[in-house]
Structure formats: C-alpha cells, structure tokens
C-alpha cells in the first residue's frame, strides 16, 4: 500500500508540474528540470539511496534552488571548498592539491564509481646534496 501511495503521489506531483508549466505556457526552470531527472532516477532505482531518501533530497534541492541557495556561479564559495579539501595535507603537498582542485592535470572516475581520481604530473628537481 505504501509503494502504491508513493507512486500515486509521484504521479500527482509530476502532473502538477507539467500542468502548471503548460497552463502558464512557460518553460520549466533549470531547477525543475534537474528535479524531474533526479526524481526519475529515484523512482527507477538508479540511486544508491533508498527511494524515500532520494525523493526527499531531490525535493529539498529543488526548494533550495528556488530560494537561490544552490547558485552555481558562487565562485568564491567553490574556491573556499577547494582550499578546505587541501588544508589537511602536509604543506609540501598542499600546492599540488590546490592545483588539482583548480582543474590542472587529469581527472578520472566519478562519484558513482566511488570517487574522482585527480592526477597532476610535474617535474620535481632532485634533492640538493
């Protein structure tokens, strides 16, 4: 019964979004499009989270985006996050970490695969005698 009510609620929400957009004759916002994709992934089982958690987080992200809290253009905050990732490293490794976080070198993998591997190759002078 719970699964049926979740599907029914999901269908109602989808119809509500589609109906509102059609009635207004407006294009869906980027945030709504992202929400619909995330929601579809939740319902299809593509998410690694439980369906309930996935739907709740997708809805919370949509709400936060509508409030302007998920602005993609906040470069200062992104830079601060990059530096925080590298802060725990020894100072001798920190500069290379910051360079990798800023996009230098190569990156492979994904969050879904368990992580992003960032690599930066550069010549290192031999130790002084």
Q: Is the pTM of this model over 0.85?
A: no
CA pair distance 45, 7, nearest whole angstrom? 13
In a domain, 23, yes or no: yes
Q: What is the pLDDT of residues 3-47, one digit of tens each?
A: 444 444 444 444 444 444 444 334 557 888 888 989 998 999 888
Structure confidence at residue 61 as a pLDDT band (50, 70, 90): confident
Neighbours of 62 (CB within 10 A): 20
In a domain, 113, yes or no: yes
How many domains is the chain built from?
2
In a domain, 84, yes or no: yes
CA pair distance 116, 108, nearest whole angstrom? 6
Same domain, 60 and 85: no
In a domain, 47, yes or no: yes
In a domain, 124, yes or no: no
Domain assignment of residue 103, given as a range: 75-117
Residues 6+ apart with CB under 8 A from 52: 6
């Amino acid at each position: 019964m719970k699964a049926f009510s979740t599907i029914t609620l999901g269908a109602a929400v989808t119809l509500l979004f589609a109906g509102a957009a059609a009635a207004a004759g407006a294009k869906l916002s980027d945030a709504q499009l992202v929400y619909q994709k995330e929601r579809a992934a939740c319902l299809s089982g593509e998410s690694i989270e439980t369906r309930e958690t996935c739907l709740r987080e997708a809805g919370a992200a949509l709400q936060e985006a509508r409030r302007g809290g998920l602005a993609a253009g906040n470069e200062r905050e992104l830079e601060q996050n990059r530096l925080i990732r590298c802060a725990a490293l020894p100072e001798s490794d920190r500069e290379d970490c910051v360079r990798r976080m800023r996009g230098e070198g190569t990156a492979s993998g994904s969050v879904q695969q368990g992580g992003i591997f960032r690599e930066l190759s550069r010549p290192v002078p031999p130790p002084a005698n």
